[in-house]
Structure 1
Amino acid sequence: MPVTDLDLITNAARKAGAIATRFFDADPKVWEKPGQGPVTEADLAVDKMLNDMLLTARPDYGWLSEETADTDARLNTTHQFVVDPIDGTRAFIEGSKDWAISIAVVSNGIPSAAAIYLPMRDNLYAASHKTTAALNGRDIIISPNCKTVLATRPTMDGQHWKNETPPNLKRHFRSSLAYRMCLVAEGRYDAMVTLRPSWEWDIAAGSLIIERAGGIVSDRTGASLAFNSAMPQLNGVIGATPKAHAEIMDRLI
């Protein structure tokens, strides 16, 4: 029986996690990418393994990863792997558990399978366009509330909100965007907001996981997200419960 895309990427995420943990808390080599922040030897090792494993299994798929030089080749494919080898590299370097491996399959511009794995917590979030969202095999669902948001402090500055008044949501933070999206899907928080241009590899997997858990994901204008763009960035991201999404969009400039 052929392996599904979801099975393929969940297995790959766990194997990637095993590689990354060998470098964790072991003083990995670190470089600065101009204008993009740090990258470690763990990021590069995970990226290479995932590229080899996934494209061997699906040689006709395109490839978009934070740690691989992008080319136009993926634009001529129907399906693409969209990968962040380690989302939350700063957290990884600092010894925090809140970093993740994020893998999505995008089909005709829409995520069709997603896996986000937090090795230090052994939490594997997964979803496909045919399944519900799950954490370690258990179905998850968003919260019914509109009380909390995962966002950076500058995101909630008055300049971004009507009458300089952000929504009445208690702010929390996690370094990894992918993990923030999973926490919303799991119902532990009610929304995540980033207003800055956001790379597709940070968002693709988490957007599907939120949607399959019953949430809404859009850019900062309220438009649906489309992936595999020539410039793989999105105009901010809001992932939330329907109630929280409506409140945020009503307040946002």
Structure 2
Amino acid sequence: MQGTDLDLLIATAKASGEIARGFVDVAPKVWEKGGGAGPVTEADLAVNELMASDLQTARPDYGWLSEETEDDMARLERQRQFIVDPIDGTRAFIDGSRDWAHALAVLEDGLVTCAVVYLPMRDLMYTASHGGGAFLNGEPIKVSQKTDLDGATVLSNKASFADEIWAAGAPPIGVTRKFRSSLAYRLSLAAQGRFDAMMIIRPSWEWDIAAGALIVAEAGGDVTDQTGAPLRFNNPHPQVNGVVAGSPITSKLRDAFATSTVEARLPNT
């Protein structure tokens, strides 16, 4: 397949959407992965097969990291990698929600160079390339410019705003319970300015985060782990230390957050 890496990701996302939509009304088979890793459906596996074939055939020198493929540590020896989540938000997919996504990214030396988050049931195509801006269905998007935590809207889960895990109690955020199963979609909504920020305060898998992180950054947003450190990907253990992303309020969210109590008190996000 010819064209840029971003062209390749867009074409593969569209083809993945066609496959996934074919399972929407037929009650796909579902299995539990074990170890608390959650469910996987035959749709996830079918999309993963398509992505692996199309992307690796087009760029055979790139490494590969996918939620639905056994990790091959040879990826660490490659300069560039694909990192994908065939269906981000599998539980939403199983439940008949429209809020699941295909998340695809290309990495170079641990940094994301281009990314796509595609919601086929909503026909939403978020795209970004390093230095090239972020777009929704071809139109530029920008993060919110909110600077005050008071009344800010943050995408997370209810447990993330329990008073006991914040140094001085939960901040005065107006909407604290807005939730989307797909982390890639949460990041994209923050990039679009629909919400002022999103946050995840548990270690998070790279395939859930990489594509959306670039989209937020290219939309003018701030993206770090929960401590304020920059995100780097293609780690031997492919997780990052949570994510705080979006408008200028992100630094205030990080400052207000008491990290020492997280592991003891929070379920997986």
For 1:214-252, what per-residue CA distance to the aligned partner results, in whole angstroms no more than 9, with x for missing partners? 00111010100000000000111111102x112201201
Query: Following TM superposition, where does structure 1 have runs of at least 4 consecutive aligned residues deviating by more than 3 angstroms?
Result: none
How far, CA to CA, are the matches of 2:18 and 2:250 in structure 1?
A: 36
TM superposition shift of 1:169: 4.0
CA contact (8 A) 2:101 2:184 kept: yes
1:108 aligns to what? Answer: 109
CA contact (8 A) 1:157 1:166 kept: no
Aligned 1:134-173 pairs, distance under 5 A: 134-145=135-146, 146=148, 147-171=152-176, 172-173=178-179
2:30 aligns to what? Answer: 30
1:176 aligns to what? Answer: 182
CA contact (8 A) 2:63 2:81 kept: yes
SS at match of 1:10: helix
The match for 1:239 among 228, 235, 245 is 245
How far, CA to CA, are the matches of 2:86 and 2:11 in structure 1?
A: 14
How far, CA to CA, are the matches of 1:192 and 1:6 in structure 2?
A: 25
1:62 aligns to what? Answer: 63
How far, CA to CA, are the matches of 1:160 and 1:134 in structure 2?
A: 35
Task: Tell me the amino acid that sits aligned with residue 63 of structure 1.
Answer: W
1:201 aligns to what? Answer: 207
Residues 1:248 and 2:253 are matched in the alignment: yes
Residues 1:217 and 2:223 are matched in the alignment: yes
Task: Tell me the amino acid that sits aligned with residue 65 of structure 2.
Answer: L
How far, CA to CA, are the matches of 2:202 and 2:25 in structure 1?
A: 30
2:43 aligns to what? Answer: 42
SS at match of 1:163: coil
SS at match of 1:133: strand
2:53 aligns to what? Answer: 52
TM superposition shift of 1:122: 0.5
Aligned identity (percent) is 54
CA contact (8 A) 2:155 2:179 kept: yes
How far, CA to CA, are the matches of 1:142 and 1:187 in structure 2?
A: 4
How far, CA to CA, are the matches of 2:84 and 2:210 in structure 1?
A: 9
1:192 aligns to what? Answer: 198
Task: Tell me the amino acid that sits aligned with residue 254 of structure 2.
Answer: M
- Over the residues paired in the alignment, what is the CA RMSD in angstroms? 1.2
TM score, norm. by length of structure 1: 0.97
TM score, norm. by length of structure 2: 0.92
Task: Tell me the amino acid that sits aligned with residue 180 of structure 1.
Answer: R
SS at match of 2:181: coil
CA contact (8 A) 1:100 1:119 kept: yes
CA contact (8 A) 2:143 2:219 kept: yes
SS at match of 1:28: coil
CA contact (8 A) 2:104 2:115 kept: yes
Count of residues in correspondence between the two structures: 252
TM superposition shift of 1:167: 4.5
SS at match of 1:164: coil
TM superposition shift of 1:164: 2.4
CA contact (8 A) 2:154 2:173 kept: no
CA contact (8 A) 1:167 1:251 kept: no
2:78 aligns to what? Answer: 77
How far, CA to CA, are the matches of 1:67 and 1:167 in structure 2?
A: 39
How far, CA to CA, are the matches of 1:106 and 1:75 in structure 2?
A: 11
